A and B are shown apart, each in its own frame.
Chain A
Amino acid sequence: DTAVSQTPKYLVTQMGNDKSIKCEQNLGHDTMYWYKQDSKKFLKIMFSYNNKELIINETVPNRFSPKSPDKAHLNLHINSLELGDSAVYFCASSQGAGNSPLHFGNGTRLTVT
């Protein structure tokens, strides 16, 4: 029944490793997002896909690569992890326009040691 689900919930890894976070939504939305929430709780947009097409690509290191195999899935792959990548990463989805809100996943807490 979960509308937006992302896995894993927690991810602890060492510097230099490569990791992926998966996200799936069953709401039939056409737009999906990745947000990063830092230790000060600031929410920063990273990427957005609309019907598998990249539409928002903020200033993010190219070690971060999103992939959308279909409009219900948006995964985030991170290469060569750095200490500063430690944060909570939220996947979200929304219908394309109007007052449709963002529906968030429960977040993935990434800790890089």
Chain B
Amino acid sequence: AQTVTQSQPEMSVQEAETVTLSCTYDTSESDYYLFWYKQPPSRQMILVIRQEAYKQQNATENRFSVNFQKAAKSFSLKISDSQLGDAAMYFCAYRSGNTGNQFYFGTGTSLTVIP
């Protein structure tokens, strides 16, 4: 099974600053998909951003962008102009392009935004 590692259990950022959350994964596949999910205190799981492994261009969604390094098997999430509402748990997830029904999640990073 693929493994997804989030090495930062907790991170903090000053409001309006930029923070980067790290995620690495282990796979022998060439075709796969990567996702970041946000889980605020309301416990709802919200899709933040997704990346196809075959795309070299890094995905961007408003203030959220990724740094996808396929060779290094790294998929970090950058949050720019951090807002109080960004405070949440963030989960990185991997989906195989071959046996695509299984999603593998990292252990999460708890992000605190300091006013």
| Residues in chain A within 8 A of chain B (CB atoms) | 31, 33, 40-43, 45, 48, 50, 55-56, 88, 90, 92, 94, 96-99, 101-104, 106-107, 109
Q: Chain A residues near B91 (CB, 8 Å)?
A: 43
- Min CB distance, A44 to chain B, in Å? 8
Evaluate contact between B43 and A56: CB separation under 8 angstroms.
no
Evaluate contact between B35 and A101: CB separation under 8 angstroms.
yes
Evaluate contact between B103 and A45: CB separation under 8 angstroms.
yes
Residue in B closest to A41 when the chains form the complex, CB atoms = B108
Chain B 39-81: CB-based contact to A (< 8 A → 1; otherwise 0): 1000111010010100000000000000000000000000000
Q: Chain B residues near A55 (CB, 8 Å)?
A: 101
Evaluate contact between A48 and B102: CB separation under 8 angstroms.
yes
Number of A-B contacts (CB under 8 A): 57
Contact sample, A vs B, 6 pairs, CB 8 Å cutoff: A41-B110, A42-B107, A42-B108, A99-B95, A102-B37, A107-B44
Evaluate contact between B101 and A98: CB separation under 8 angstroms.
no
Taken together as a complex, chains A and B put the C-alpha atoms of A107 and B43 apart, in Å, by 7
Q: Chain A residues near B101 (CB, 8 Å)?
A: 31, 48, 50, 55-56, 94, 96-97
Measured as residues with beta carbon below 8 angstroms from the partner, the interface class of chain B is 20 to 34
Evaluate contact between B97 and A102: CB separation under 8 angstroms.
no
- Min CB distance, A24 to chain B, in Å? 17
- Min CB distance, B97 to chain A, in Å? 7
Evaluate contact between B102 and A102: CB separation under 8 angstroms.
no
Evaluate contact between B43 and A97: CB separation under 8 angstroms.
no
Evaluate contact between B100 and A97: CB separation under 8 angstroms.
yes
Q: Chain A residues near B47 (CB, 8 Å)?
A: 101-103
Partner among B43, B93, B107 whose Cβ is within 8 Å of the Cβ of A102: B93
Taken together as a complex, chains A and B put the C-alpha atoms of A48 and B33 apart, in Å, by 18
Taken together as a complex, chains A and B put the C-alpha atoms of A104 and B37 apart, in Å, by 10
- Min CB distance, A71 to chain B, in Å? 13
Evaluate contact between A56 and B100: CB separation under 8 angstroms.
no
Q: Chain B residues near A96 (CB, 8 Å)?
A: 100-101
Other A-B pairs, 16, CB within 8 Å; known A41-B89, A42-B108, A101-B50: A33-B103, A41-B39, A41-B108, A42-B105, A43-B91, A43-B108, A45-B102, A45-B103, A50-B101, A88-B43, A92-B45, A97-B101, A98-B97, A101-B47, A102-B45, A104-B44
